[in-house]
């Protein structure tokens, strides 16, 4: 386990939309480099950068055409290596996004694989042995697109053919077992890509759809787990400081597979959703109706819905790895949808004071908004509204684009939030009560106290169904949160409690923890 994860706080960067240094309307590596001081001063000491490799961008770069070459629109391989070096100079780490389950249909491997003549890459993807689709049993496939007599399996969009790591229980002759030489060759090719970037200076990977490798896997995903355990062994021996974080959504399975941490995600986790956006969802996965997030004052939030799901995972993760709480990501609606600024501050208070390794999605620290109704960009569909340019400055004196880019507004990758009240770094940076400075203070508190970092020392002191506040302990600290519209009290007896941080009014004395409406407190106990 890399020791640096204990005090890591990540900042997720969607490179298209962070900062455009050369004025062509799209973010780039140079832009990220120029904003590293901002990220470090916020209190984030690690980055996750969404895929930045050569790609036709039918899924925003999750369709990789060449794993070893950066997308020219962001800069060269050398620029990315400079970014690693600039981050390291500031004692920051950089995770790249590794897409192991599929490539772009334009990847050289696939262009070879689809040929009728047998070649080195014929088995790099999963092909049936007849142009008539049979024996597919629930696998999603494309037929009629190649000279090769067969149909091929896809992992996500049509443009993303699934790489072949074999089948746990093959049912047809064309389904190779997971220990077949061709399945192993795919795994080794993946390791070669990982070594390439680790040798170039990256600090590990966020792994896309990490559970999707071996097909017809069992419920435990034991076939896919075996692939990752083999890869983890390589890291342990050759790159012991490299971190591996999965988009798996099941910490039991992901940590057993060798990942150092796994995300709680909103598509599978009602517990996570009960925290951040407990709406009904409409047909396009768009939020409908009122938000019953735990943080919504006047809502019907309930912390036990989160804890019921989280605590078993938390217990199981002890000693194996961490659970990552996210403010959001490039696939989710922005957390600010349906929450006001104080509610957001209280949400971040919990996220940034919990065990595990937190992730902040760029712009969430200022409360950037989800932009509804944008035309889909690069396969984003309803995700597009969460991917708009970072809002750095106020527009004044003829500038537009909120400081994101010097390009004409109509040639930006995506439009900047055009509505009044769009938050910016500039407007918040000198206001001690701003969301931005609240996040800074919460992170400064965390970095200053090992008890408030990733290691599992959580004790629940008060968490009752449909009641407030929520009170928890971490080592020498007691923390209490009341997102409700009315004051709340709970019995909590501790010795020598000294308030070290608060949002709103909070007191802990005489065996009672008392919080004003919409407030949060942290006390250091003992002498
Ligand atoms: C993951 C990514 C998402 C992408 C998909 C396919 O869920 O986060 O953005 O579209 O995988 O690679
Ligand atoms: Ca640019």
Please give the full DSSP string across 356-376, using - where no structure is assigned.
S--EEETTGGGTPPP-TTPPP
The per-residue pLDDT for range 100-115, each reduced to its tens digit, is: 999 999 999 999 999 9
Cα 401 to Cα 489: distance, rounded to the nearest angstrom: 46
What average pLDDT does the segment 131-139 reach?
91
**Residue/partner pairs of 73-76 with CB below 8 Å, 24 or more apart:** 73/24, 73/26, 73/28, 74/15, 74/26, 74/27, 74/28, 74/29, 75/28, 75/29, 75/30
Band of residue 383 on the pLDDT scale cut at 50, 70, 90 = very high
pLDDT of 294 reads 94
pLDDT of the residue at 284: 66
Cα(157) to ligand 1 centroid in Å equals 10
Distance of CA 208 from the midpoint of ligand 1 (Å): 6
Average of per-residue pLDDT values in the chain = 96
Ligand 1 atom index nearest CA of 62: 12
Q: What confidence score (pLDDT) does residue 281 get? A: 66
pLDDT tens digits for 38-74? 999 999 999 999 999 999 999 999 999 999 999 999 9
What ligand has the least distance to the C-alpha of 406? Answer: 2
Predicted local confidence at residue 397, as pLDDT = 81
What pLDDT does 285 receive? 62
Which ligand ends up closest to the CA of 34?
Answer: 2
Cα(401) to centroid of ligand 2, in Å? 13
Q: 287 pLDDT exceeds 70?
A: no
Rounded-to-integer distance, Cα 103 and Cα 135, Å? 23
Sign, CA dihedral 521-351-482-464, equals negative
Burial of 62: CB neighbours in 10 Å, binned 0-12, 13-18, 19+: buried
pLDDT at res. 214: 98
C-alpha–C-alpha distance, residues 124 and 56, integer Å: 20
Residues enclosing ligand 1, CB less than 6 A?
A: 59, 62, 99, 156, 208-209, 247, 330-331
> Residue whose CA is closest, atom 12 of ligand 1?
62
pLDDT for position 91: 98
Task: Round to whole Å and give the CA distance between 318 and 308.
Answer: 17
Q: Dihedral through CA 228, CA 234, CA 236, CA 237, nearest 10?
A: 160
Please count the other Cβ atoms lying within 10 Å of the Cβ belonging to residue 320: 16
In 506-522, which positions are buried (b, 16+ CB within 10 angstroms) versus exposed (e)? bbbeeeebbbbbbbbbb
Q: Which pair of tokens denotes residue 381? A: 């569909």
Q: Which of 209, 211, 263, 377 to mutate to test the pocket of ligand 1 (most atoms within 8 A of CB)?
A: 209
Q: Phi then psi for 150, rounded to 5 degrees? A: 175, 170
Q: Of the candidates 433, 513, 440, 516, which has an alpha carbon nearest to the alpha carbon of residue 479?
A: 513
Testing ligand 1's pocket by substitution, the residue of 95, 96, 208, 263 carrying the most ligand atoms inside 8 A of its CB is 208
CA-CA distance, 402 to 404, in Å (whole number)? 6
- pTM beyond 0.75: the answer is yes
Residue length of the chain: 527
Task: Read off φ and ψ for residue 77, nearest 5 degrees.
Answer: -55, -40
Looking at the chain, the whole-number percentage of residues with pLDDT higher than 90 is 90
Instruction: Evaluate whether 413 touches 380 at the Cβ level (below 8 Å).
Output: no
What long-range pairs does 27-33 form, CB within 8 A, spacing at least 24?
27/74, 27/389, 27/390, 27/404, 27/405, 27/413, 28/73, 28/74, 28/75, 28/79, 29/70, 29/74, 29/75, 29/79, 29/80, 29/82, 29/83, 30/75, 30/79, 32/83, 33/82, 33/83, 33/86
How far is residue 260's CA from residue 251's CA, in Å, rounded to a whole number?
A: 10
Closest ligand 1 atom to 63 CA: 12
| pLDDT interval class at 290 (50, 70, 90) | confident
- Residue owning tokens 């988009």: 247
Q: What pLDDT, on a 0 to 100 scale, did the predictor assign at position 301?
A: 77
Q: Which pLDDT band holds residue 286 (cuts at 50, 70, 90)?
A: low
Q: What is the pLDDT of residues 15-37, one digit of tens each?
A: 999 999 999 999 999 999 999 99
Q: Which domains does the chain have, with CATH numbers?
A: 3-99+264-446 (3.20.20.80), 102-164 (3.90.400.10), 458-524 (2.60.40.1180)
Q: Residue 342 above 70 pLDDT?
A: yes
In the reported structure, the alpha carbon of residue 409 is separated from the centroid of ligand 2 by a whole-number distance in angstroms of 13
In whole angstroms, give the CA distance from residue 495 to residue 357.
29
By three-state DSSP, how is residue 89 classified?
helix
Q: What is the pLDDT of residue 182?
A: 98
Distance CA 411, CA 128 (A): 44
């Amino acid at each position: 386990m890399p020791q640096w994860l204990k005090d890591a706080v990540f900042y997720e960067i969607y490179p298209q939309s962070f900062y455009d240094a050369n004025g062509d309307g799209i973010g780039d590596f140079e832009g990220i480099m120029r904003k590293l001081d901002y990220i470090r001063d916020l209190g984030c000491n690690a980055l996750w950068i969404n895929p930045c490799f050569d790609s036709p961008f039918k899924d925003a770069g999750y369709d990789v055409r060449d794993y070893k070459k950066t997308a020219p629109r962001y800069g060269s391989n050398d620029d990315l290596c400079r970014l690693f070096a600039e981050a390291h100079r500031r004692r920051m780490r950089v995770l790249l996004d590794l897409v192991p389950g599929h490539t772009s249909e334009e990847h050289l491997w696939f262009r070879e694989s689809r040929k009728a003549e047998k070649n080195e890459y014929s088995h790099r993807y999963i092909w049936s042995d007849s142009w008539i689709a049979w024996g597919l049993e629930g696998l999603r496939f494309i037929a009629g697109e190649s000279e090769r007599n067969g149909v091929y399996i896809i992992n996500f969009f049509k443009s993303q053919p699934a790489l072949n790591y074999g089948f746990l229980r093959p049912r047809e002759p064309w389904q190779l077992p997971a220990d077949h030489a061709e399945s192993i060759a795919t795994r080794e090719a993946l390791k070669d890509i990982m070594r390439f970037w680790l040798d170039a200076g990256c600090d590990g990977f966020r792994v896309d759809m990490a559970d999707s490798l071996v097909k017809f896997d069992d419920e435990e995903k034991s076939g896919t787990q075996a692939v990752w355990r083999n890869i983890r062994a390589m890291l342990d021996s050759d790159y012991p400081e490299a971190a591996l974080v999965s988009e798996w959504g099941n910490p039991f399975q992901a940590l057993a597979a060798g990942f150092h941490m796994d995300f709680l995600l909103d598509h599978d986790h009602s517990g996570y959703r009960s925290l951040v956006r407990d709406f009904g969802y409409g047909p396009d996965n768009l939020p409908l109706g009122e938000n019953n997030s735990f943080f919504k004052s006047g809502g019907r939030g309930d912390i036990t819905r989160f804890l019921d799901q989280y605590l078993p995972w938390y217990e199981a993760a002890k000693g194996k790895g961490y659970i990552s709480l996210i403010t959001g990501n490039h696939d989710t609606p922005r957390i600010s949808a349906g929450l006001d600024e104080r509610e957001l501050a209280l949400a971040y208070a919990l996220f940034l004071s919990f065990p595990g390794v937190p992730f902040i999605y760029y712009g969430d620290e200022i409360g950037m908004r989800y932009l509804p109704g944008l035309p889909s960009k690069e396969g984003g569909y309803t995700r597009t509204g969460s991917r708009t340019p970072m809002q750095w400055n106020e527009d004044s004196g003829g500038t537009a684009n909120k400081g994101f880019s010097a390009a004409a507004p109509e040639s930006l990758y995506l439009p900047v939030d055009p509505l009044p009240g769009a938050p910016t770094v500039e407007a918040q940076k000198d206001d001690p009560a701003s969301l931005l400075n609240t996040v800074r203070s919460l992170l400064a508190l965390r970095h200053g106290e090992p008890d408030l970092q990733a290691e599992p020392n959580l004790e629940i002191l008060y968490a009752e169904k449909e009641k407030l506040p929520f009170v928890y302990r971490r080592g020498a600290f007691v923390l209490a949160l009341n997102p409700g519209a009315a004051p709340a009290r709970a019995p909590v007896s501790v010795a020598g409690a000294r308030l070290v941080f608060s949002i709103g009014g909070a007191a802990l004395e005489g065996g009672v923890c008392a919080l004003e409406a919409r407030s949060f407190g942290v006390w250091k106990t003992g002498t």
